[in-house]
């Protein structure tokens, strides 16, 4: 395990330290929008979760392993979390780094870090857990082989 593989912690409180850009294999540039800023002049915390959702689902759609309209298997979010370290704001390009921390039979834990511009350390980082279910029954189902292969490519 390298220093980039797991969240690092400071002090007795165990607060994570920002992850580094070189610990991620996939990036999606996201242009902030005027409406992303809040009254304090930075991207509002709820928007970070939209960025997480965007990088995960766009990766899956672009690889042809997620059909949001007709696919028989869909991912439901069952857990998410975020730690904030530095503000992001409009206008700015945010680079969403994506990796897979854990791949189960029917679930995956994504780790996402958001980098402002060329910054080497994350402005924010978090996780996103999908449980894959049958679209009709909503019961957990085994990850289809193409989906598993796309996710394995992101394993940290």
Q: DSSP class of residue 2? A: -
Is 38 in a helix, a strand, or coil? coil
Determine the Cα–Cα distance for residues 18 and 121; give it in Å rounded to an integer.
6
* Residue 47 Cα distances to 15, 51, 75, angstroms: 22, 6, 20
Q: Determine what percent of the chain is predicted with pLDDT higher than 90.
A: 89
Determine the Cα–Cα distance for residues 71 and 33; give it in Å rounded to an integer.
31
**What mean pLDDT is predicted for residues 4-8?**
48
Domain spans in the chain, listed from the N-terminal domain onward: 27-152
**What mean pLDDT is predicted for residues 28-56?**
96
User: What is the structure's pLDDT at 17?
Assistant: 94
Q: What mean pLDDT value characterizes the chain?
A: 92
**What mean pLDDT is predicted for residues 57-85?**
95
User: Rounded to two decimals, what is the model's pTM?
Assistant: 0.89
Residue with more model confidence, 42 or 3: 42
What is the token pair recorded at 135?
């679209």
User: What is the structure's pLDDT at 14?
Assistant: 76
The pLDDT of residue 114 is above 50 = yes
> CATH number of the domain at 27-152, please?
3.10.129.10
Determine the Cα–Cα distance for residues 145 and 64; give it in Å rounded to an integer.
12
Which of 3-7, 18-22, 39-43, 52-56 shows the lowest per-residue confidence on average (mean pLDDT)? 3-7
Q: Pick the most confident of 4-8, 69-73, 97-101.
A: 97-101
The pLDDT of residue 137 is above 80 = yes
């Amino acid at each position: 395990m390298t220093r980039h593989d797991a969240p690092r912690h400071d002090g007795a409180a165990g607060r994570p330290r920002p992850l580094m850009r070189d610990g991620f294999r996939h990036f999606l540039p996201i242009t902030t929008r005027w409406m992303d800023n809040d009254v304090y002049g930075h991207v509002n915390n709820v928007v970070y979760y939209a960025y997480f959702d965007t990088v995960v689902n766009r990766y899956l759609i672009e690889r042809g392993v997620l059909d949001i309209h007709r696919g028989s298997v869909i991912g439901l979010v069952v857990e998410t979390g975020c730690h904030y370290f530095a503000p992001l704001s409009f206008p700015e390009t945010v680079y969403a780094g994506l990796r897979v921390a854990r791949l189960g039979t029917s679930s995956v834990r994504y780790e996402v870090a958001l980098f402002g511009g060329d910054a080497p350390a994350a402005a924010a980082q978090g996780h996103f857990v999908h449980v894959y279910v049958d679209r009709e029954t909503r019961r957990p189902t085994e990850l289809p082989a193409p989906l598993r292969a796309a996710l394995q490519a992101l394993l940290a």
